[in-house]
Amino acid sequence: MAQVVQVESLSRSFGETTALDSISFSVEEGEIFGLVGPDGAGKTTCLRILCGLMAPSSGRVTVLDQDMVLDPEPAKDRIGYMAQPARLYEELSVAENIRFYADIHEVPPERYRERMNRLLEFSGLTPFTGRLFRNLSGGMKQKVGLTCALIHTPRVLFLDEPTNGVDPVSRRDFWKILYELRREKVTIVVASTYLDEVDRCHRVALFDKGKIRLLMAPPDMRSLITGHLFNLIVPDRQRALKVLRSVPLVIRSSVFGTGIHFTTRKESDVAEVEKSLLSAGLVSFEVKPITPTLEDVYLSLILSKEEVEA
pLDDT tens for each residue of 111-138: 888 888 888 887 888 899 999 999 998 8
pLDDT of the residue at 226 = 82
- Is there a single domain that holds both residue 150 and residue 277? no
Helix axes 168-182, 138-150, angle to 10 degrees: 10
Separation between Cα atoms, residue 72 and residue 49, nearest integer Å: 10
Q: Predicted confidence band at 310 (pLDDT cuts at 50, 70, 90)?
A: very low
Question: DSSP states of the chain as a string?
Answer: --EEEEEEEEEEEETTEEEEEEEEEEEETT-EEEEE-STTSSHHHHHHHHTTSS--SEEEEEETTEETTT--GGGGGGEEEE-SS----TTSBHHHHHHHHHHHTT--HHHHHHHHHHHHHHHT-GGGTTSBGGGS-HHHHHHHHHHHHHTT--SEEEEESTTTT--HHHHHHHHHHHHHHHTTT-EEEEEES-TTGGGGSSEEEEEETTEEEEEE-HHHHHTT--SEEEEEE-S-HHHHHHHHTT-TTEEEEEEETTEEEEEESSGGGHHHHHHHHHHTT--S-EEEE-PPPHHHHHHHHHHHHHHHH-
Q: 214 and 301 in contact (C-beta within 8 Å)?
A: yes
pLDDT of the residue at 1 = 66
Across 63-82, average pLDDT: 92
CATH number of the domain where residue 182 is located: 3.40.50.300
How many distinct structural domains can be found in the chain? 2
Domain end residue (candidates: 184, 218, 252): 218
> Which residue has better confidence, 302 or 3?
3
> Which residue has better confidence, 174 or 66?
66
For 15, left (φ over 0), alpha (ψ -120 to 50), or beta? left
- Is there a single domain that holds both residue 144 and residue 261? no
- Is there a single domain that holds both residue 170 and residue 115? yes
Helix axes 94-104, 109-123, angle to 10 degrees: 140
pLDDT of the residue at 109 = 83
Residue 297, in any domain of the structure: no
Structural domain boundaries, residue 240: 228-291
- Is there a single domain that holds both residue 272 and residue 147? no
pLDDT of the residue at 307 = 46
pLDDT of the residue at 309 = 43
- Is there a single domain that holds both residue 175 and residue 79? yes
Across 52-60, average pLDDT: 95
CATH number of the domain where residue 239 is located: 3.30.70.100
- Is there a single domain that holds both residue 142 and residue 287? no
Residue 302, in any domain of the structure: no
pTM of the model: 0.83
Note the pLDDT tens digit of each residue in 5-48: 999 999 999 999 999 999 999 999 999 999 998 888 999 999 99
- Is there a single domain that holds both residue 56 and residue 155? yes
Note the pLDDT tens digit of each residue in 255-301: 888 899 999 999 999 999 999 999 999 989 999 999 888 888 887 77
- Is there a single domain that holds both residue 170 and residue 238? no
How far does CA 35 lie from the centroid of its chain? Answer: 5
Residue 301, in any domain of the structure: no
> Which residue has better confidence, 170 or 82?
82
Residue 309, in any domain of the structure: no
Separation between Cα atoms, residue 115 and residue 143, nearest integer Å: 15
Residue 83, in any domain of the structure: yes
Note the pLDDT tens digit of each residue in 162-205: 887 777 877 888 888 888 888 888 999 999 888 777 888 999 99
Residue 70, in any domain of the structure: yes
Percent of the chain with pLDDT over 90: 57
Q: In degrees to the nearest 10, what's the CA dihedral of 55, 60, 61, 62?
A: 130
Residue 240, in any domain of the structure: yes
Separation between Cα atoms, residue 10 and residue 8, nearest integer Å: 5
- Is there a single domain that holds both residue 197 and residue 145? yes
What are residue 35's DSSP bridge partners? 191, 205
Residues, the chain, total?
Answer: 310
Residue 308 has pLDDT above 60, yes or no: no
Q: How far apart, in Å, are the Cα atoms of 309 and each of 91, 122, 212, 255, 299?
A: 52, 49, 18, 22, 15
Note the pLDDT tens digit of each residue in 205-214: 999 899 999 9
pLDDT of the residue at 305 = 52
- Is there a single domain that holds both residue 161 and residue 196? yes
Q: 146 and 101 in contact (C-beta within 8 Å)?
A: no
- Is there a single domain that holds both residue 73 and residue 92? yes
Residue 303, in any domain of the structure: no
Domain end residue (candidates: 166, 190, 218): 218
Of the chain, the end-to-end C-alpha distance in Å amounts to 43
Q: How many CB atoms lie within 10 A of CB 78?
A: 15
- Is there a single domain that holds both residue 233 and residue 84? no
Residue 216: name the closest of 241, 239, 233, 198 by CA: 198
